[in-house]
């Protein structure tokens, strides 16, 4: 299976660094950023397979990124992360095209399992709608 | 008379008009205070301050007797009649005759209307009958005003309680979000580090503890979010009697160990309603665990289910013979982290409160120290799913 190009968007630098450490050990290429704006710039400039997205960001709602990616780069898989998990927010994220959902806090294995699920889907039958 | 809810205003008018109508010296109302069982002066007309300040015009026993007879009594002998509490003062006030009209509602004593005259005179039966009718109307008005006052105080208490719980809920949700972000860093690193340290050694042991304790924190925060109504119920058609059966099965062992007997009185008319089966089970398990922990060996638990009026709601009652709770604890019992147990987290009832609120229901506790406790859960009966529930999870939420 091909290694993925992954972008982590979270305002908590510790979470970005943790995800980078764990996923890069599996051979993936990881970029990180802490705001919605930086995230969108990076997504538009580079071709990522997967984005790990915190839906509560300081400059804007992560849901906005979901909407834009759905229109501009719908091939990107997005895994939503949040410390404020409500069924409503999960359902909204899924409706906006998120591939999976990781409630914080999560273990490395939960992170890896979610990324592997996305990997299988990249280049496969397409995203779960 | 019934239009006003202010008893004082009504009674002021009645004493004034009574004095006028009977061409009397004056009149007073003394109403029974239900809390202190004292007859308090409510309204007076035509009498001096000195006499009024003296205290009750007649004893509680005499007034009760008067109400029992339910007829107008004339007191001619001011100085000799035991019904007059302060004969000397009454005489000095110029009182020569008194008319006592009882105020009662059914078998309950409400108070007395006493009319004072400066001279002896004959009061016609018509006038006496009229006064009895007025007294009856006054009793009804007093009763109505008391009812309104009670409801107002209950309502005020409820508003305050709801506001407090919702503020705690918002705070809990805010804290949960912030802490979860920090825990995410701890859990991500520690769960990964564990794999990179020698299998046997102090590092592995330390990291195991960190991971384990962080996961415990995650559990507590999830419960806090449940309390703050952030976890919406996933409603399906279920029968509350069946859910009680499941909760009892879970705790069967505890009951046996502590020799606790459980009596169920489940309504045979109970029908299925839309509710979150798992969440309601959690509420019942929480209530049962509390009951078990409140009792010494050999306690008794009684569970009753009923359909409310017009089958609009489901009422579930849990009663135990445990140690009970003082009022101070009862007032705070649903607050998160409030506990009376040595090892409690104080989240069980808070979460139960959140769940029941999420079902648009209500949970109440009644208890006195040493007299056990009873918890009543009321949830609306819903036989058609709302639009929210029919939306489902077509996008495959985890």
* B313 domain residue, yes or no: yes
* CA atoms within a 13 Å half-sphere pointing along the CA-CB vector of B240: 31
Residue ranges per structural domain of chain A:
5-121
Chain-chain contact of A87 with B397 (C-beta, under 8 angstroms): yes
* Count of A-B CB contacts under 8 Å: 90
Give the CATH number for residue B223. 1.10.287.130
* B320 domain residue, yes or no: yes
Question: Could you read off the pLDDT of A89-106 as tens digits, one per residue?
Answer: 778 888 888 999 998 999
How many angstroms away from the CA of A15 is the closest CA of chain B?
5
Query: Domain A5-121 belongs to what topology?
Result: Rossmann fold (3.40.50)
| Residues with Cβ within 8 Å of residue B319, at least 6 apart in sequence | B301, B302, B303, B304, B372, B373, B374
- Residues 44 through 103 of chain A touching chain B, CB cutoff 8 Å: 56, 81, 83-88, 90-91, 94-95, 100-101, 103
Q: What is the DSSP string of B193-246?
A: HGGGS-SSSHHHHHHHHHHHHHHHHHHHHHHHHHHTT-S----EEE-HHHHHHH
What is residue A26's predicted lDDT score, i.e. its pLDDT? 93
Q: Nearest Cα to B160, choosing from B148, B170, B149, B152?
A: B152
Chain-chain contact of A83 with B184 (C-beta, under 8 angstroms): yes
Of A18, A84, A103, the CB nearest to B185: A18
Instruction: Judge contact between B320 and B299, C-beta under 8 A.
Output: yes
Query: CB burial class (10 A; 0-12, 13-18, 19+) of residue A95?
Result: middle
How many angstroms away from the CA of A47 is the closest CA of chain B?
25
- The interface predicted TM-score of the complex, written ipTM, equals 0.84
- Is the domain of B19 the same as that of B129? yes
Q: A22 at the B interface (CB within 8 A)?
A: yes
Strand partners, B263: B302
Q: Which helix (H) or strand (E) holds B192?
A: helix B125-193
What is residue A85's predicted lDDT score, i.e. its pLDDT? 65
What is residue A129's predicted lDDT score, i.e. its pLDDT? 39
Give the CATH number for residue B20. 3.30.450.40
Chain-chain contact of B232 with A88 (C-beta, under 8 angstroms): yes
B26-32 and B39-45: which strand pairing?
antiparallel
Q: Which residues of A touch B176 (CB under 8 A)?
A: 83-84
- Is the domain of B15 the same as that of B106? yes
- Is the domain of B347 the same as that of B316? yes
- Is the domain of B139 the same as that of B170? no
- Is the domain of B27 the same as that of B11? yes
B362-367 and B373-380: which strand pairing?
antiparallel
* B307 domain residue, yes or no: yes
Q: What is the DSSP string of B117-140?
A: ESS-----HHHHHHHHHHHHHHHH
- Comparing alpha-carbon positions, the chain B residue that sits nearest to A114 is B398
Of B187, B230, B398, the CB nearest to A107: B187
Query: Is the model's pLDDT at A124 over the cut of 70?
Result: no
Three-class SS of residue B380?
Answer: strand
Q: What is the DSSP string of A48-90?
A: -SEEEEESB-SSSBHHHHHHHHHHH-TTSEEEEEESS--HHHH
What is the residue range of B163's domain? 153-227
**Rounded-to-integer distance, Cα B24 and Cα B19, Å:** 5
- Is the domain of B279 the same as that of B364? yes
Q: A113 at the B interface (CB within 8 A)?
A: no
* CA atoms within a 13 Å half-sphere pointing along the CA-CB vector of B167: 6
- Is the domain of B205 the same as that of B63? no
User: Of B150, B170, B198, which residue is a domain's last?
Assistant: B150
User: Of B178, B209, B227, which residue is a domain's last?
Assistant: B227
* B392 domain residue, yes or no: no
Q: Which helix (H) or strand (E) holds B313?
A: strand B313-320
Q: Nearest Cα to B45, choosing from B17, B72, B76, B8?
A: B17
Q: Report residues of chain B scoring pLDDT below 50.
A: 1-3, 390-398
Query: What tokens were used for A6?
Result: 């992954």
Question: Could you read off the pLDDT of A58-101 as tens digits, one per residue?
Answer: 888 888 889 999 899 989 999 999 887 666 777 888 888 899 99
Q: B232 at the A interface (CB within 8 A)?
A: yes
- Is the domain of B176 the same as that of B318? no
DSSP letter assigned to residue B271: -
What is residue B202's predicted lDDT score, i.e. its pLDDT? 87
* B395 domain residue, yes or no: no
- Is the domain of B353 the same as that of B245? yes
Q: Which residues of A touch B185 (CB under 8 A)?
A: 12, 14-15, 18, 105
DSSP letter assigned to residue A46: S
- Is the domain of B146 the same as that of B157? no
Task: State pTM to two decimals.
Answer: 0.56
Query: Is the model's pLDDT at A1 over the cut of 50?
Result: yes
Cα-based distances in Å from B125 to B108, B128, B247 = 25, 5, 68
Chain-chain contact of A22 with B192 (C-beta, under 8 angstroms): yes
- Is the domain of B141 the same as that of B157? no
Interface probe, candidates A11, A83, A85, A126, chain B, greatest B C-beta count within 10 A: A83
- What is the count of structural domains for chain B? 3
Give the CATH number for residue B270. 3.30.565.10
User: Of B227, B250, B273, which residue is a domain's last?
Assistant: B227
| Percentage of the residues of chain A whose pLDDT score is greater than 70 | 91
What is residue B169's predicted lDDT score, i.e. its pLDDT? 75
What is residue B393's predicted lDDT score, i.e. its pLDDT? 39
- Is the domain of B297 the same as that of B172? no
């Amino acid at each position: 299976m091909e290694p993925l190009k992954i972008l982590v968007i979270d305002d908590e630098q510790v979470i970005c660094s943790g995800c980078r450490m764990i996923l890069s050990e599996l051979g993936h290429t990881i970029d990180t950023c802490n705001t919605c704006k930086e995230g969108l710039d990076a997504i538009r400039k580079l071709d990522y397979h997967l984005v790990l997205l915190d839906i509560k960001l300081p400059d804007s709602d992560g849901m906005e990124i979901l909407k834009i990616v759905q229109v501009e780069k719908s091939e990107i898989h997005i895994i939503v992360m949040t410390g404020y998990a409500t069924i409503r927010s999960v359902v909204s994220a899924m409706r906006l095209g998120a591939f999976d959902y990781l409630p914080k806090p999560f273990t490395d294995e939960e992170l890896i399992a979610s990324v592997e699920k996305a990997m299988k889907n990249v280049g496969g039958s397409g995203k779960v709608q | 008379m019934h239009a006003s809810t202010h008893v004082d205003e009504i009674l002021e008018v009645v004493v004034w008009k009574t004095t006028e109508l009977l061409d009397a010296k004056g009149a007073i109302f003394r109403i029974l205070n239900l809390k202190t069982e004292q007859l308090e002066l409510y309204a007076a007309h035509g009498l001096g301050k000195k006499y009024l300040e003296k205290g009750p015009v007649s004893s509680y026993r005499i007034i009760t007797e008067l109400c029992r007879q339910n007829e107008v009594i004339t007191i001619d002998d001011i100085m000799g009649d035991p019904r007059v509490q302060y004969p000397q003062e009454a005489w000095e006030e110029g009182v020569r005759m008194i008319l006592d009209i009882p105020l009662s509602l059914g078998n309950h004593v409400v108070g007395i209307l006493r009319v004072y005259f400066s001279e002896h005179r004959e009061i016609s039966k018509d006038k006496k009958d009229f006064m009895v009718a007025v007294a009856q109307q006054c009793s009804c008005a007093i009763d109505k005003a008391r009812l309104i006052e009670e409801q107002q105080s209950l309502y005020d208490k409820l508003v305050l309680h709801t506001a407090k719980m919702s503020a705690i809920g918002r705070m809990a949700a805010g804290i949960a979000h912030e802490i979860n972000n920090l825990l995410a860093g701890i859990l991500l690193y520690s769960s990964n580090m564990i794999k990179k340290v020698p299998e046997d050694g102090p590092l592995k042991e330390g990291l195991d503890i960190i991971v384990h304790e962080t996961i415990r924190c995650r559990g507590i925060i999830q419960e806090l979010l449940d309390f703050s109504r952030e976890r919406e119920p996933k409603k399906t058609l279920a029968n509350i009697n069946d859910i009680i059966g499941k909760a009892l099965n879970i705790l069967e062992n505890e009951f046996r160990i502590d020799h606790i007997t459980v009596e169920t009185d489940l309504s045979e008319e109970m029908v299925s309603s839309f509710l979150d089966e798992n969440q309601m089970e959690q509420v019942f398990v929480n209530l049962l665990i509390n009951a078990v922990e409140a009792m010494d060996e050999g306690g008794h638990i009684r569970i009753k289910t009923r359909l409310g009026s017009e089958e609009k709601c489901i009422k579930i009652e849990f009663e135990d013979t445990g140690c009970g709770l003082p009022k101070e604890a009862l007032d705070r019992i649903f607050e998160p982290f409030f506990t009376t147990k040595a090892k409690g987290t104080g989240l069980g009832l808070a979460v139960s409160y959140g769940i029941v609120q999420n079902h648009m229901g209500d949970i109440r506790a009644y208890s006195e120290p040493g007299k056990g406790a009873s918890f009543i859960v009321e949830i609306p009966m819903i036989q058609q799913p709302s639009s929210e529930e029919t939306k489902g999870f077509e996008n495959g939420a985890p």
